[in-house]
Structure 1
Amino acid sequence: MVHPQEVDIIVCGYVGLCCVVAGRLAYADPNLQVMLVEGGNNNRDDPWVYRPGIYVRNMMRDGVNDKATFYTDTKASSYLRGRQSIVPCANILGGGSSINFQMYTRASASDWDDFKAEGWKAEDLLPLMKRLENYQKPCNNDKHGYDGPIAISNGGQITPLAWDFLRAADAVGVPQSDDIQDLTTAHGSEIWAKYINRHTGRRSDAATAYVHSVMDVQSNLFLRVNSRVSRVIFEGNTAVGVAFVHSRNRAHQGELRETIVRARKCVVLSSGTLGTPQILERSGVGNATLLKELNIDVVSDLPGVGEQYQDHYTTLTIYRASNETITTDDFLRGDKETQDRIFAQWENTPEKALLSSNAIDAGFKIRPTEEELKEMGPEFNELWDKYFKDKPDKPVMFGSIVSGAYADHSLLPPGKFFTMFQYLEYPASRGKIHIQSADPYIEPSFDSGFMNDKADFAPIRWSYKKTREVARRMDAYRGELTSHHPHFHPASPARARDIDIKTAKELLPNGLTVGIHMGTWSTASEAYDAKKVHEDIKYTEEDDKAIDDWVADHVETTWHSLGTCAMKPLKEGGVVDNRLNVYGTQNLKCVDLSICPDNLGTNTYSSALLVGEKGADILIEELGIKVRLPHAPVPHAPIPTGKPATQQPVR
């Protein structure tokens, strides 16, 4: 493809939603020239992308993986007991949607209402939520869409551990639901949906859905991959183009070689929470004091750029599973016979294969009870009263089960395992990111801010205890992998117990046998009685301290960065208005999750797609484009092995 030196719209990508904006605009008007500048490789028909069960490989930092960029705290954190946290960001077309865990969740209605911005309430956004979805699950509400480009299903297989988890969760007070992604449910468990097309077994990523499908039928969308946007080109305060460099090259004998492309109508920054503020600052948009120190001409003095970085935090614990449990452990540890069998299964029936799942088949959203709140400390209770108490649709924590050990299997003992993840959805902690040079190859100054607010320890501690009680009540439970649990005092009753078969049996009523029938747990002799289960583990203050130390040592990002270019009034540190215009500039918009003024309780892919859809609609309206009716959808059918996927144009 010959790339023009001038187009109508330039979208500066690095995250999945850039594909939404570019694809929607290009498809809306075939005469509109749109260029998408992407920092990573093209993901098209990459088997390490489209096979869902391979996602673990893409999370590794092993010198081979080029699908992620890693941001590391510039300084050691006292809140993490001297650690420097690492935040990986996708470095591939489609952003995180090409390599993420593929977990489908949605933000609560009040999350969007909390933006306090015209046009951004949940009721305003629901039609767009439905427009983007091709929902492939049974549903008893009207909150989902069925004709959109993004497939959502249960994947090719659901392991029995999922039903085991749901039954045990119900025993500790978390009831099962058919849909906890309905924008209002904040306490319940479900079979966890995935961004996987159940007809093909393939990952449903943003680039395939919005970019490749348009480029297959139109010639007005131009794609530049492996290209890192250096800066926006301004004439006065009007954005007229961008300069970019090759992602992997460095300065040539001290000279920075930039390619410049001009934009006739608009420049759109969709480079993510960590990428967009760097581009703005290198372009002269940001805190004037910093920019002058770096000899960058100031276009717009916006001190909020790069501030109020937010994320979601995760910890994980690993448990031993019975030998008959179906897990991914043999596959992940490299057992050749198992890998050959599973890869062959994918080649023959991908829509039913184990690889057409992420092995994260069940999970929950939870809020603490009044009794639990009493044990969570004054810092969190203050946050609860201010943030959660009057918003019953906000969960405090997520939890999920993985059918296997999410860990380096070369360091694990033999056996089968399952992993419990705990996710903090609304951290009080905040961080920041700022450039240290106008050179795009110089690493920024980054402070993730992880755990720098004490209120964040209590909910993670509580969630660890909750998921531990769920695990102990599961049929598959055979003990705790002590290396992946807090270091309790050896004499503490709360200490982790390895190969704990006796306790596992005692946690179920005598003589109880449990089976699965059409997704519902039933018993041979009597209904499950939660009252017969042993009491929960009791923790001392010393035990709680051990959990908090473990959290500081092990808490990680969930790759859910938000908030460094907030949509709020300028006087409150805002960077963009409700139309996504960057204050103090013309023809420049930010369309990514950096605009979030507050957190979103969700795996952020759904929210990123939604912001992309909203941003595309705003641009289409402002450009006066009359949107064409979509093509008839391509029939759903298995994709022949080794052949390019037939795409459904965006609708």
Structure 2
Amino acid sequence: MTDSFDVVVVGAGSAGCTLAGRLAGRGVRTALVEAGAVVVPPDSTPIASLAATAPGHVLNWAYRATLCQGRECTVPRGRVLGGSGAINGGYFVRAVPADFADWGVPGWSYDDVLPYYRRLERDLDFCTSDRHGDAGPLRISRPSGRLRAATTDPFLAACLALGHPEEPDKNAGGSPGAGPIPTNAVDGRRVSAATAYLPPPWGNAEWKDALTVFGGTPVETLVLDGDRVTGVRVGGRTLHAAETVVTAGAVGTPALLQRSGIGPEDTLRAAGVAVAHELPGVGRGWSDHPAVFLPLRSGLPDPPADAVAPQAALNLDSGTDPAGDLEILLFAHPFAPGGPAHLMCAVQRPDSLGMLAITSPDHDDPPRLDFRYLRTTSDRHRMRAAVRIAAEILRAAGWDRAGPDDGGPAGWELGNDTRLDGWIRDHLTTSVHLSGSAAMGSGPDAVVDADLRVHGLTGLRVADTSVLPRAPRRGPAATAIMIGERAADLVCGIEGEHRA
């Protein structure tokens, strides 16, 4: 088996599978290296099942993390071909124009990336719109039929009755409001980037010889020759490449960079890693969406067995962000058999920023994750507002909010800021939308430039949600695939042509 390639792609998640498929389709000799499994068990593909996100599942890294003082949790990340997109709930919403404007990276405006969002999708509901694609590898649709009538429509009606505006197409780049969730599911089954871009056995007859997939192959370190990355070290051998692209996700990417001696000097020395290239922003200053789940006691009919997990969402302005810094998301399908449905309440533009640090050079040792949620008065205020708005929606929809015996807040907690803060802290979780751990930009903490090249090094790019300077106001699944699409053009030197 050859050890030399044109490009080595490290990590077969949403961006990595997209990038590898597009490169191989253009005849670029590509190695796709994945630490997890490369065969997705059939029982993990039903979109209604989130079983693979549970701690201990073979398809899940399940990182331990500190969310805030006194509150820890397990963070699921996909450990399989397709990455987290192979085990998530199917939420497929684009970042909004204000996100790209806030990031302020030249060449990364919403209009710049729109052709890539269009290229990846075949939107079954809005295929005639110039904001959507009609020939991409991912079929995108929204709830319909009995599912929509039973769950989505009452939720949307309640939002409208409370005065919130309607947002029928959450991927149109318009103003925030209430609308159905676009999802990448077909016939009740999750369609990840692996399924869409790497059809079995990893490519079609025209280009599969250009792609080599290494499964169950953790990358130990990047190989550096001075300021040039020449490949990766895996299992005692080196895979050489003219260019290496790290797409290991917003946890795996900064951890690999740090293990390779690329990152903040103090973090590297504390972990026993020699400093090869100091970059203070690796693993620092990232963001994610803090969330709590408000359970329903009753009043919601059982959804069909093939129901996608999230059906609808209200995105809204807390009073300081017209682009929508809060999200109330309807999960009508229980997370466990016999369990309740939920409304997820999240702050989509948090001020609090997290830190990630490796603890040793060993790739088997997980990094330390500190989300530092709800450290600011603004974040706590907005989380309280999201929970109270969700409670209003439940009342307007005629659904019964679960009380303290069922895990929900009591009325006296909803009406008192201090007590509600306590309930939120005790029930706090993460949306698993970590972004910005190897951020794009030109400032002192930036890790990659606008072409996704790592500052100060040659032969190395990063292409996953770690490059987004902040977590987008909507979940990042669609944006991760968009990054993979754009990275393929950047690597091939045809950025801007938007080829299929």
TM-score category, normalised to shorter length: over 0.9
Amino acid at match of 1:432: M
Aligned to 2:291: 314
Aligned to 1:206: 193
2:213 aligned residue (212, 223, 232): 223
1:481-512 deviation line (CA, Å, top 9, x unaligned): 43355554xxxxx348xxxxxxxxxxxxxxxx
Question: Structure 1: how far apart are the matches of 2:255 and 2:108?
Answer: 26
| Displacement after TM superposition at 1:180 (Å) | 2.9
Q: Relative to structure 1, is the Cα distance of residues 458 and 216 closer, same or farther in structure 2, using a 3 angstrom cutoff?
A: same
Aligned to 1:26: 24
Q: Relative to structure 1, is the Cα distance of residues 364 and 587 closer, same or farther in structure 2, using a 3 angstrom cutoff?
A: same
Could you tell me whether the CA contact under 8 Å between 1:86 and 1:557 is conserved in 2?
no
| Displacement after TM superposition at 1:127 (Å) | 0.8
Could you tell me whether the CA contact under 8 Å between 2:36 and 2:216 is conserved in 1?
yes
| Structure 1 position 596 matched with structure 2 position 468 | yes
1:59-114 deviation line (CA, Å, top 9, x unaligned): 222x4x111112223xx67x44x122332211111011111010121211020122
Secondary structure, in 3 states, of the residue corresponding to 2:378?
helix
| Displacement after TM superposition at 1:192 (Å) | 1.9
Q: Relative to structure 1, is the Cα distance of residues 155 and 179 closer, same or farther in structure 2, using a 3 angstrom cutoff?
A: closer
Could you tell me whether the CA contact under 8 Å between 1:457 and 1:551 is conserved in 2?
no
Aligned to 2:353: 430
Amino acid at match of 2:103: F
| Structure 1 position 260 matched with structure 2 position 238 | yes
| Structure 1 position 36 matched with structure 2 position 13 | no
1:296 aligned residue (252, 270, 273): 273
Could you tell me whether the CA contact under 8 Å between 2:270 and 2:359 is conserved in 1?
no
| Displacement after TM superposition at 1:421 (Å) | 1.2
Amino acid at match of 1:421: M
| Displacement after TM superposition at 1:142 (Å) | 2.4
| Displacement after TM superposition at 1:274 (Å) | 0.9
Q: Relative to structure 1, is the Cα distance of residues 419 and 609 closer, same or farther in structure 2, using a 3 angstrom cutoff?
A: same
Amino acid at match of 1:176: E
Secondary structure, in 3 states, of the residue corresponding to 1:179?
coil
Secondary structure, in 3 states, of the residue corresponding to 2:394?
helix
| Displacement after TM superposition at 1:316 (Å) | 0.8
1:471 aligned residue (380, 390, 394): 394
| Displacement after TM superposition at 1:273 (Å) | 1.1
Aligned to 1:397: 326
| 1:447-462 map, 5 Å | 447-462=370-385
Aligned to 1:334: none
| Displacement after TM superposition at 1:244 (Å) | 2.2
Q: Relative to structure 1, is the Cα distance of residues 565 and 436 closer, same or farther in structure 2, using a 3 angstrom cutoff?
A: same
1:502-545 deviation line (CA, Å, top 9, x unaligned): xxxxxxxxxxxxxxxxxxxxxxxxxxxxxxxxxxxxx64xx222
1:362 aligned residue (298, 305, 312): 312
- Please tell me whether Structure 1 or Structure 2 has the larger radius of gyration of its CA atoms: 1
Q: Relative to structure 1, is the Cα distance of residues 407 and 449 closer, same or farther in structure 2, using a 3 angstrom cutoff?
A: farther
Q: Relative to structure 1, is the Cα distance of residues 626 and 133 closer, same or farther in structure 2, using a 3 angstrom cutoff?
A: closer
Question: Structure 1: how far apart are the matches of 2:199 and 2:423?
Answer: 44
Aligned to 1:71: 63
| Displacement after TM superposition at 1:403 (Å) | 2.1
| 1:39-188 map, 5 Å | 39-44=35-40, 46-54=41-49, 56-61=50-55, 63=56, 65-73=57-65, 79-80=68-69, 82-138=70-126, 141-154=129-142, 158-159=147-148, 160-186=150-176, 188=177
Aligned to 1:190: 179
Could you tell me whether the CA contact under 8 Å between 1:486 and 1:547 is conserved in 2?
no
Aligned to 1:550: 423
Amino acid at match of 2:404: T
Secondary structure, in 3 states, of the residue corresponding to 1:308?
strand
Q: Relative to structure 1, is the Cα distance of residues 464 and 9 closer, same or farther in structure 2, using a 3 angstrom cutoff?
A: same
Aligned to 1:15: 13
Secondary structure, in 3 states, of the residue corresponding to 1:219?
helix
TM-score using structure 1 length: 0.72
Question: Structure 2: how far apart are the matches of 1:546 and 1:314?
Answer: 17
1:162-203 deviation line (CA, Å, top 9, x unaligned): 2111111111111333213211222x1112221113xx4432
1:535-558 deviation line (CA, Å, top 9, x unaligned): xxxx64xx2222111111111111
| Displacement after TM superposition at 1:425 (Å) | 0.8
Secondary structure, in 3 states, of the residue corresponding to 2:425?
helix
Amino acid at match of 2:376: D
| Displacement after TM superposition at 1:357 (Å) | 2.4
Question: Structure 1: how far apart are the matches of 2:466 and 2:99?
Answer: 15
| Structure 1 position 607 matched with structure 2 position 498 | no
Aligned to 2:256: 279
The ranges of structure 1 where at least 4 consecutive aligned residues each deviate by more than 6 angstroms after the TM superposition are 624-627
Question: Structure 2: how far apart are the matches of 1:484 and 1:453?
Answer: 29
Aligned to 1:643: none
Q: Relative to structure 1, is the Cα distance of residues 222 and 236 closer, same or farther in structure 2, using a 3 angstrom cutoff?
A: same
| Displacement after TM superposition at 1:625 (Å) | 13
Secondary structure, in 3 states, of the residue corresponding to 1:68?
coil
| Displacement after TM superposition at 1:592 (Å) | 0.9
Question: Structure 2: how far apart are the matches of 1:25 and 1:625?
Answer: 16
TM-score using structure 2 length: 0.92
Instruction: Compute the RMSD of aligned alpha carbons.
Output: 2.4
Could you tell me whether the CA contact under 8 Å between 1:43 and 1:49 is conserved in 2?
no
Q: Relative to structure 1, is the Cα distance of residues 591 and 359 closer, same or farther in structure 2, using a 3 angstrom cutoff?
A: closer
Aligned to 1:4: 2
| Displacement after TM superposition at 1:598 (Å) | 2.1
Question: Structure 2: how far apart are the matches of 1:35 and 1:92?
Answer: 16
| Displacement after TM superposition at 1:237 (Å) | 1.5
Identity among equivalent positions (%) equals 26
Secondary structure, in 3 states, of the residue corresponding to 2:198?
helix
Could you tell me whether the CA contact under 8 Å between 2:291 and 2:345 is conserved in 1?
yes
Q: Relative to structure 1, is the Cα distance of residues 310 and 231 closer, same or farther in structure 2, using a 3 angstrom cutoff?
A: same
Question: Structure 2: how far apart are the matches of 1:480 and 1:161?
Answer: 17
Question: Structure 2: how far apart are the matches of 1:238 and 1:553?
Answer: 47
Q: Relative to structure 1, is the Cα distance of residues 431 and 444 closer, same or farther in structure 2, using a 3 angstrom cutoff?
A: same
Could you tell me whether the CA contact under 8 Å between 2:221 and 2:260 is conserved in 1?
yes
